[in-house]
Structure formats: C-alpha cells, structure tokens
C-alpha cells in the first residue's frame, strides 16, 4: 500500500522531470523540462499556462518506473494536474524547489498497479480514484519549512490531511537526513484521518493475511495499547483512550481521528528517538488526539471466578466477536469478559458505551462475519425466513410473494409486520 500511495504523489515524478530554467511562462518551463524526461513517462491531451510559474494538464497518463524484478508498472490515468506555483528557478540551480502549490485530480489506480499489489485483496475494490494536494514553502533564510497542506483523498475510502511548520530546515539538509534529524524541530502540526470505509476493508484483509479473525487482530492491537498504560499520566491515557476507541470502531468510526502537535520546547527527531516512555514523547511533542467516539479504555477486568470453564464453554475471550440478540434484532458485539457467575459472557455492542453491554449464554449468539450473520442470499423465495439489515442491526423477517425488480427482495419484518423492498445485499439466510 505504501508503494501505491507513493505513486499517487505525482509531485515526485514532476520533480524528476522539471530540470530546465524558467522561460516565458510556466507551461513553457514544463515543456522544456519534459525533454529530459524518460520517453512516455508523462503524456497529456491538452495544456495551458497559469502565469509565470504554473500550468494545467488535462487527460494525463503517468507511467512511473517499476524497479520490481520481473514487474511492470501499470499506467496511471489522471484527469487533471494543476500547478499554481512552482519554483523553477531553484531547479535551475540544482536545488530542491522552495515552493510548490499543486492539485492532482482524478487519479485512477487499477486493481493491480504493480507486481505483488492487489487492491481487490487489500481494499476489496477493482480500482481506486483519488485526489492529491500539495502546498509548501521553504524559507531558506529563516530555515523554516511551512507545509500548508498535504492532502490525499481516496474517494469512497478515506482522506488524510497533514499540515506543519518545521524550523531548522535548509535546502541542503533535504539531501542529508541525518543532519535534519539533529537540526530540524517541529513547531506545530496537525494530522487528520477521515475514514469512509478503508479500515472496514483493510483490517479484515490484514487479519486474513495473518491467518486470524479481525476481532483477534483488534484485540491484539488493543493489548499493545493497554501495555503502554501502566504508570502514565492523564495526557497519555487520553491519547490511548482515543486510539483504542477508534480501533474498536473500525467498521464505522464516529467521525475523523485528529492528532495535533504543539511542542512546548524545541525537540528534534534525534532527541525523540532516545525517549523510552510514552509520557516523555507525548509531553515533548504536546500531542493531543481527538475522536468524537472516545471512551475510557481501561485494561480488561480480572478474570472471572472460573475463567477457564467460562471461556471453554462460551468462547468468552476478550475481543471475540459475535452477533447478539437485543430488542428483536441481532447486533455485532465484542466480548469484554466472562461474567462472575461463569455461565455468561459480557459483550459491548459496536459503537456503544458501558450502557450498551449485554450478557449472553450458550445458544444466544450467531457467528460473526463482516458481511453479516448467516449466509448470503442469491435470490428471493417466497416464505423464506431471513435476516434484514437496518441501521446496523439485523432483524428477523420473511420473504413475501410480491413481484419486484431483479436484485431486490420484498420482505415483512417479524417484529412489527412492516413491509419493505430491500437490496439483496441487505438480506441474509440464518444458518
């Protein structure tokens, strides 16, 4: 995935081809630079200038080099590249550009953009459409780099936005990462991740690759966060609460995850590398993590009086996933612990708090699956008993004999006798 996202940052390829001095306008500068680019690396249908340092390209096809042995990079189609401001003069001096302001729209990544990468397995889609923005300025005299915006929007999946101000940065230090580690200090930063469906796709795929259930992967990750809690201060516990809650809500997060950094003093990356406790790093960087669905994430409670018997009988392993019955519907829930009596499990309904915990015994659950309880249905048959998804829960219903369009199913809910025609993807057959 890192490799795919790297290709989305089309700016890196543009850097490599913009190597000539500025001429009459931005488009002329770009065309001159393209003469030194690899043949066929970047083609476009139309172009126009935007002042002295900018240009617009329409209908772009980008073919990046692929260094994977035996691999071949797939061309990337791009609807539009708009460069509003680019430091051609710096490139003429063989130095990194001091400023760039650009937007790349309609980037289309195919299902298998390169050898070893399959978006179908990783994200459950045959292609990704994305937009990318970059706006930064380097002040060489003050040695300050201001990243106004770095934005990657994976349409329908999620969006990442980063902004920051870093002091102690010079054009020369860009090619000397060790010096930058010692000299550069963070003044302020903001990182926002807005999930639309990416976590719900990627986390189960990652669990499958590791040979485990998604719930087990979440529980393992939660355990890693819990291990950091011992002896930490309130600020650190707040960060761990937010991260743990967001992880638990991976199927449907309650808003974006936002990280802000406001260091009270100058702290270099080299100094951070020497810190061994979460409190030290969080205090040094002034980190605050905000998430609307944050809940207290205390470590799992002590085991029940007879935990071995409860776990063996019910599968009450913290982090285990089931569908549990509540108020006439089946809800996805995560096990918190075994009940003290040893004959029930205590689980929390997804997205809920402590008031949304339920206790269940043997025979009171359905096996969990990311697609829903039971089995998928290929077609409707009158009289079949089914489960129908409505607002995140699965309600018992019956298929009724009413002609409908293909791909839909007429049903009547068991609880209130209401009738509805729903897409097949919202209908499952109980096991």
Question: How many domains does the structure of the chain reveal?
Answer: 4
Count CA atoms closer than 13 A to 50's CA, side-chain side. Answer: 14
Q: What are phi and psi of 367, to 5 degrees?
A: -60, 145
Domain co-membership, 178 together with 220 = yes
Other beta carbons within 10 angstroms of residue 174's beta carbon come to 14
The answer to whether residue 70 sits within a structural domain is yes
**Which token pair is 237?**
């516990």
CATH number at residue 334: 2.30.30.140
Q: What are phi and psi of 147, to 5 degrees?
A: -95, 100
Domain co-membership, 277 together with 157 = yes
Domain co-membership, 266 together with 151 = yes
CA 63 – CA 41 distance, rounded (Å): 5
Domain co-membership, 210 together with 221 = yes
CA 182 – CA 169 distance, rounded (Å): 10
Domain co-membership, 148 together with 128 = no
pLDDT of res. 212? 75
Domain co-membership, 151 together with 265 = yes
Domain boundary among 334, 350, 367: 367
Confirm if 17 and 33 have CB atoms less than 8 A apart. Answer: yes
Domain co-membership, 218 together with 314 = no
Report helix, strand or coil for 259.
strand
Domain co-membership, 77 together with 100 = yes
**Which token pair is 429?**
């057959």
pLDDT of res. 313? 44
SS3 content of the chain, % helix, strand, coil (to 5): 25, 35, 40
pLDDT of res. 307? 42
Domain boundary among 340, 367, 394: 367
pLDDT of res. 247? 92
**Residue labelled with tokens 């936002």:** 258
pLDDT of res. 13? 45
Domain co-membership, 147 together with 261 = yes
Q: Which structural domain range is residue 279 located in?
A: 140-297
278 Cβ partners below 8 Å, 6+ apart? Answer: 228, 232, 236, 239, 240
The answer to whether residue 239 sits within a structural domain is yes
Domain co-membership, 157 together with 289 = yes
The answer to whether residue 105 sits within a structural domain is yes
Confirm if 183 and 173 have CB atoms less than 8 A apart. Answer: yes
pLDDT of res. 2? 39
Confirm if 57 and 81 have CB atoms less than 8 A apart. Answer: yes
Domain co-membership, 279 together with 392 = no
> Could you say which DSSP state residue 364 is in?
S
The answer to whether residue 302 sits within a structural domain is no
The answer to whether residue 335 sits within a structural domain is yes
pLDDT tens, the chain, 431 aa long: 334 334 444 444 444 444 444 346 888 888 877 777 777 788 899 999 988 889 999 999 988 766 554 556 678 899 999 999 998 887 777 778 899 999 999 998 765 544 445 555 555 556 788 999 999 999 988 889 999 999 999 888 899 999 999 998 877 666 665 666 677 889 999 999 999 888 888 888 888 777 778 888 888 888 888 888 888 888 899 999 999 999 999 999 999 999 999 998 887 777 777 777 888 889 989 999 999 999 988 654 433 334 444 444 445 677 777 888 888 888 888 877 777 766 788 888 876 666 678 888 766 788 877 778 888 887 888 888 899 988 888 999 999 887 677 778 888 998 888 888 888 888 888 87
The answer to whether residue 95 sits within a structural domain is yes
pLDDT of res. 60? 92
The answer to whether residue 361 sits within a structural domain is yes
pLDDT of res. 195? 93
On the 0-12 / 13-18 / 19+ scale of CB atoms within 10 A, 117 is buried
Domain co-membership, 152 together with 291 = yes
Domain boundary among 325, 348, 367: 367
The answer to whether residue 147 sits within a structural domain is yes
């Amino acid at each position: 995935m890192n490799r795919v996202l790297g290709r989305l940052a089309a700016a890196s390829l543009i850097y490599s081809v913009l190597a000539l001095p500025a001429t009459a306008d931005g488009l002329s500068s770009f065309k001159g630079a393209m003469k030194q680019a690899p043949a066929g690396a970047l083609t476009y249908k139309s172009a126009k200038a935007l002042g002295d340092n900018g240009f617009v390209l329409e209908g772009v096809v980008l073919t990046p080099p692929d260094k994977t042995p035996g691999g071949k990079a797939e061309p990337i189609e791009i609807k539009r590249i708009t460069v509003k401001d680019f430091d051609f003069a710096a490139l003429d001096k063989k130095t990194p550009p001091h400023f760039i302001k650009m937007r790349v729209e309609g980037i289309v990544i195919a299902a298998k953009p390169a050898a070893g990468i399959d978006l179908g397995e990783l994200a459950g889609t045959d292609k990704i459409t994305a937009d990318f923005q970059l706006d930064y300025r380097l002040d060489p005299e003050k040695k300050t780099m201001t990243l106004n915006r770095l934005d990657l929007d994976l349409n329908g999946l999620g969006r990442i936005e980063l902004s920051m101000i870093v002091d102690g940065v010079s054009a020369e230090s860009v090619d000397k990462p060790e010096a930058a580690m010692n000299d550069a200090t963070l003044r302020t930063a903001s990182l926002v991740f807005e999930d639309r469906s990416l976590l719900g796709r990627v986390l189960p795929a990652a669990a499958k690759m590791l040979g485990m259930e998604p719930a087990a992967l979440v529980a393992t990750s939660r355990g890693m966060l819990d291990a950091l809690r011992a002896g930490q201060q309130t600020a650190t516990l707040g960060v761990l609460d937010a991260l743990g809650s967001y992880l638990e809500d991976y199927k449907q997060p309650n808003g974006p995850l936002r990280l802000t950094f406001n260091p009270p003093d100058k702290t270099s990356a080299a100094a951070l590398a020497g810190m061994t406790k979460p409190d030290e790093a969080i205090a040094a960087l002034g980190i605050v993590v905000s998430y609307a669905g944050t809940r207290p994430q205390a470590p799992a409670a002590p085991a029940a009086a007879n935990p071995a018997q409860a776990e063996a009988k019910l599968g009450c392993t913290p982090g285990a996933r089931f569908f549990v019955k509540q108020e006439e519907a089946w809800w996805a829930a995560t096990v918190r612990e075994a009940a003290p009596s040893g004959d029930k499990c205590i689980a929390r309904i997804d997205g809920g708090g402590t008031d949304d915990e339920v206790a269940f015994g043997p025979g009171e659950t359905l096996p969990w699956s990311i697609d829903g309880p039971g089995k998928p249905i290929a077609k409707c048959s009158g009289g079949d008993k089914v489960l129908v998804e409505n607002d995140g829960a699965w309600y018992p219903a019956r298929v009724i004999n009413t002609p409908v369009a293909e791909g839909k199913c007429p049903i009547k809910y068991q609880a209130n006798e209401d009738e509805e025609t729903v897409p097949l993807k919202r209908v499952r057959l109980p096991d």
